[in-house]
Amino acid sequence: MTDRIVLAYSGGLDTSVAIGWIGEATGAEVIAVAVDVGQGGESLEEVRQRALACGAVEAYVADARDEFANDYAMPALKANALYQGHYPLVSAISRPVIVKHLVKAAREFGATTVAHGCTGKGNDQVRFEVGIQTLGPDLKCIAPVRDLALTRDKAIAFAEAKGLPIETTKKNPYSIDQNVWGRAVETGYLEDIWNAPTKDIYDYTATPEFPPAPDEVIVSFKQGVPVAIDGVAVSPLQAIQELNRRAGAQGVGRIDVVEDRLVGIKSREIYEAPGAMALITAHKHLEDITIEREQARFKASVSQRWSELVYDGQWFSPLKRSLDAFIDDTQQYVSGDIRMTLHGGQAIVNGRRSETSLYDFDLATYDTGDTFDQSQAKGFIELWGMSSKVASTRDQRFAGK
């Protein structure tokens, strides 16, 4: 029986050419796997037909938009996940769901190998292959660009020689990856980190310099998950899509950062994540009134480690699973409403309410009705500073000896 290879298929030039390229290099049949995580563009049926026209023996397509929003974007939201304090893990959280479908297709079609279109320079090769090794330890992995010398000029020449039904004459200077959680742009003009991004880079966001009138929105959460916008019930996917539209129109969610890649180099990245950044902002402010102080402080360190694990391709790792359990526990009382104004590139929270809030007006107020017993403060301060006071007394006694 002829060997079969499952290929993560986007429908673009490189992965379309990779179908025939892999076949010629390995003698194997290729099954193309396309997964819709909200990247927009062509329909899955159009992508499926192109894969077959380019030589795939089978084409597996999956509408995973709700799955991605529910099972991947929502955990990132609960974690307030921002790698290095900036990046909302746009590409990093999409790779595990694609891996899941790649392994599923490999089982369904009897493939022994999984292929992806990553280079040897980026993070995604790690995310794909570590995920595949974890879910399908018996499966092998190959990367045509990295392992089979499939460069862009060779891809164009191959496509033209074979008459493949894909556009080969236009060359976008940027590398772009997008899904419903956001959009990532790199390479080309951006590799000089002194160069400011040009207007043509952006697609999910309007320029914030000339915004429309301010847009006030109320986001309702239940246990850390958005369930309504302005009182209208929404699914996680609908919440992201609605805030992509409204926050994007205000230029919210533009990120320009030089980040530390897993492979050891620094890389300049431009991100657009209007819905993600608006939701993370709202969620964090709701946590501020519903999560106890020490729990919140510890969660901040957990969120950082969670973000690093996911960025580094460890979505399916035991540690990440354990951190998920902690994060889920913290969300028990993260329910309520956040009101914020979207305007000029910013999402500004200006109202909070929750039945499970820890904010006590009578304890916080300085006006009549204050129930905080200020007489307790003096003794508290004495005890709180006791260890430092004792240490300082010792230090002064031995100073100069």
Selected residue with higher pLDDT from 365 and 320? 320
**Contact present, 272 and 203 (Cβ < 8 Å):** yes
Per-residue pLDDT tens digits for 282-305: 999 999 999 999 999 999 999 999
3-state secondary structure of 217: strand
Strand locations in 201-345, DSSP E?
215-222, 225-229, 232-233, 254-260, 266-272, 336-343
Q: How far apart are CA 99 and CA 309, in angstroms?
A: 16
- With H, G, I as helix, E, B as strand and everything else as coil, classify residue 33: strand
- pLDDT value for 368: 86
pLDDT in tens, 263-287: 999 999 999 999 999 999 999 999 9
What is the tens place of the pLDDT at every residue in 298-349? 999 999 999 999 999 999 999 999 999 999 999 999 999 999 999 999 999 9
Average pLDDT on 210-226 reads 97
The fraction of the chain above a pLDDT of 70, given in percent, is 98
Average of per-residue pLDDT across 22-30: 93
The response to whether 124 counts as a known ligand-binding position is yes
What whole-number distance in Å separates Cα of residue 53 and Cα of residue 160?
14
Sign of CA dihedral 242, 247, 250, 255: negative
Burial of 342 (0-12, 13-18, 19+ CB in 10 A): buried
Which token pair is 152?
């862009």
Which one of 48, 50, 95, 352 is the catalytic residue?
Answer: 95
The contacts of residue 19 (CB under 8 Å, 6+ apart) are 7, 9, 30, 32, 51, 54, 55, 56
Q: Which structural domains are found in the chain, ordered by start?
A: 4-171 (3.40.50.620), 176-291+334-353 (3.90.1260.10), 370-398 (no CATH)
Phi/psi of residue 364, nearest 5 degrees: -85, -30
Predicted pLDDT of residue 278: 98
Annotated active-site residue in 91, 94, 124, 352: 124
Q: Is residue 102 a known part of a binding site?
A: no
- Provide CB contacts within 8 A for 354, sequence distance 6+: 286, 289, 290, 333, 335, 336, 337
Please, what is the Cα angle at 247 between 243 and 253, to 5 degrees?
Answer: 110
Structure tokens belonging to residue 321: 């699973």
Q: Is 335 helix (H, G, I), strand (E, B) or coil?
A: coil
Reported as a single tens digit per residue, the pLDDT across 221-277 is: 999 999 999 999 999 999 999 999 999 999 999 999 999 999 999 999 999 999 999
Pairing of strands 4-8, 113-115: parallel
Write down the mean pLDDT value for the chain: 94
From 66, 71, 175, 235, the catalytic residue: 175
Confidence of residue 1 (pLDDT cuts 50, 70, 90): low
Q: How confident is the model at residue 120 (pLDDT cuts 50, 70, 90)?
A: confident
pTM, rounded to two decimals: 0.94
pLDDT tens-place string over residues 130-142: 999 999 999 999 9
Number of Cβ within 10 Å of residue 308's Cβ equals 16
| 127 labeled binding residue | yes
Mean per-residue pLDDT for 62-82?
98
* Active-site residue flag, 288: no
Q: Which residues, other chains included, contact 232 with Cβ-Cβ below 8 Å and sequence gap of 6+? A: none
Residue 43 marked in a binding site: no
Q: 3-state DSSP call for residue 5?
A: strand
Known active-site residue 95: yes
Task: State the pLDDT confidence band at 169, using cuts at 50, 70 and 90.
Answer: low
Tell me the three state secondary structure of residue 367. Answer: coil
